[in-house]
């Protein structure tokens, strides 16, 4: 059941873009204009039920590689559980999370605050050089954007991101459709297709800045990760760059994560951790408690060498 891989040699599966997604992408600009004018909670609820029960509208094929990869991930992590039930719930909540993202972004771009996503009472953004770690959540990139909104305006952030790869299933295809990235966010983005991105991030931390980073990415560095995230009975290698960042003098580590407080409402927390292993423990505990909201299930079996990924992307440019 392990999904097919890219014929170019990468470990991330590829597929043709579903026709339903193409239609939805054309409707996104209309929805972006309408959603801020509608009552937030009922409109998000309706959109969530549509996307949750019609995953092809946001690019998820029930018989496709992403779902097959998630199924295999569930089998590895929870071999004694009903995998079909886990998978069905995951697909449903992923669609509802996508609706929350679309609704939030429609308001955020207009400068309007969402009432459905709020910082928790213990949310504390670290001062000084810091690494703020994330997992891949069903409501990405809301947690990152909400952290930026809650932080001080002068906060200097670099945000490593991996590229949109042609023919590879990627949730960002829907919520990026027709959107212009705000200048502050665009300046913060640090593409990992640049081999020097780790050095750039290290220099940024030494200068007192903040680095956002996903610790559950499907890309492996040439050197083996020293830390991992326990996911049920399985283990996921942690992004090894975090270990390098943590060794820089004065750097603080923190994990940011969302938690649902109702059918449509979310609170996001950001709390410091003592070390890299602490990040792994906190991340594993979150996945155990909110498995249906973790978008990274396929990454337990989708693994691609980071250097090979850069070569693949370069070949497509």
**Domain contains 217:** yes
Q: Does pLDDT of 65 surpass 90?
A: no
Domain-located, residue 10: no
Label residue 85 by pLDDT band (50, 70, 90): very high
What are the tens digits of pLDDT across the range 149-180?
777 667 789 998 876 655 555 565 555 555 56
Contacts 24+ apart (CB under 8 A), 16-24: 16/167, 17/59, 17/167, 17/173, 18/56, 18/59, 18/61, 20/54, 20/56, 20/57, 21/56, 21/57, 21/58, 21/59, 21/173, 21/174, 23/57, 24/57, 24/58, 24/174, 24/177
Question: Which residue range forms the structural domain that includes residue 61?
Answer: 19-316
Q: Is residue 3 part of a domain?
A: no
Mean pLDDT across the chain, nearest whole number?
Answer: 81
Q: Is 225 contained in some domain?
A: yes
Average pLDDT over residues 289-293: 95
From 137, 140, 136, 143, select the one nearest 175 (Cα to Cα): 140
The answer to the question of residue 13 being in a domain is no
- Rounded to 5 degrees, what angle do the CA atoms 277, 278, 282 make? 120
Q: What is the pLDDT of residues 237-285, one digit of tens each?
A: 998 889 999 999 999 999 999 999 877 789 999 989 999 999 999 999 9
The per-residue pLDDT for range 178-219, each reduced to its tens digit, is 556 677 777 888 888 888 899 999 999 999 999 999 999 887
Q: Is residue 167 part of a domain?
A: yes
Cα distances (angstroms) measured from residue 243 to each of 61, 136, 152, 228: 35, 19, 26, 11
Q: Is residue 11 part of a domain?
A: no
Least confident of 135-139, 144-148, 207-211, 243-247: 144-148
Tell me which residue has tokens 């690019």: 59
- Residue 178: predicted pLDDT: 54
* Number of folded domains that form the chain: 1
For residues 160 and 23, the model is more confident at 160
- CB 306 within 8 Å of CB 195: no
In a domain, 48, yes or no: yes
Strands 266-273 and 117-119: parallel
Q: Specify the pLDDT at position 6.
A: 36
């Amino acid at each position: 059941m392990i999904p097919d891989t890219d014929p170019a040699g990468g470990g991330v599966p590829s597929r043709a873009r579903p026709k339903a997604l193409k239609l939805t992408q054309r409707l996104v600009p209309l929805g972006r204009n309408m959603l801020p004018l509608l009552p937030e909670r009922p409109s998000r609820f309706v959109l969530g039920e549509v996307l949750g029960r019609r995953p092809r509208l946001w690019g998820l094929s029930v018989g496709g590689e992403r779902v097959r990869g998630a199924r295999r991930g569930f089998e590895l992590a929870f071999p004694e559980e009903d995998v079909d039930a886990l998978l069905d719930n995951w697909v449903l909540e992923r669609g509802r999370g996508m609706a929350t993202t679309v609704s939030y972004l429609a308001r955020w771009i207009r400068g309007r605050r969402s009432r459905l996503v709020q910082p928790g009472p213990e949310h504390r953004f670290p001062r000084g050089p810091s690494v703020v770690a994330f997992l891949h959540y069903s409501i990405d990139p809301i947690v990152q954007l909400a952290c930026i909104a809650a932080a001080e305006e002068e906060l200097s952030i670099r945000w490593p991101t991996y590229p949109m790869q042609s023919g590879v299933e990627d949730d960002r295809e829907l919520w990026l459709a027709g959107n212009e990235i705000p200048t502050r966010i665009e300046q913060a983005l640090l593409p990992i297709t640049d081999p020097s991105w780790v050095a750039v991030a290290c220099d940024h931390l030494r200068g007192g800045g903040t680095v956002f980073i996903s610790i559950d990415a499907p890309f492996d560095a040439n050197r083996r990760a020293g830390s991992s995230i326990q996911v049920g009975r399985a283990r996921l290698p942690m992004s090894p760059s975090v270990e390098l960042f943590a060794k820089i003098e004065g750097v603080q580590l923190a994990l940011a994560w969302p938690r649902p407080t109702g059918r449509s409402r979310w609170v996001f927390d950001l709390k410091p951790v003592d070390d890299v292993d602490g990040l792994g423990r906190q991340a594993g505990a979150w996945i155990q408690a909110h498995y249906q909201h973790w978008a990274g299930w396929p990454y337990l079996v989708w693994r691609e060498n980071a250097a090979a990924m850069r070569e693949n992307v370069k070949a497509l440019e």
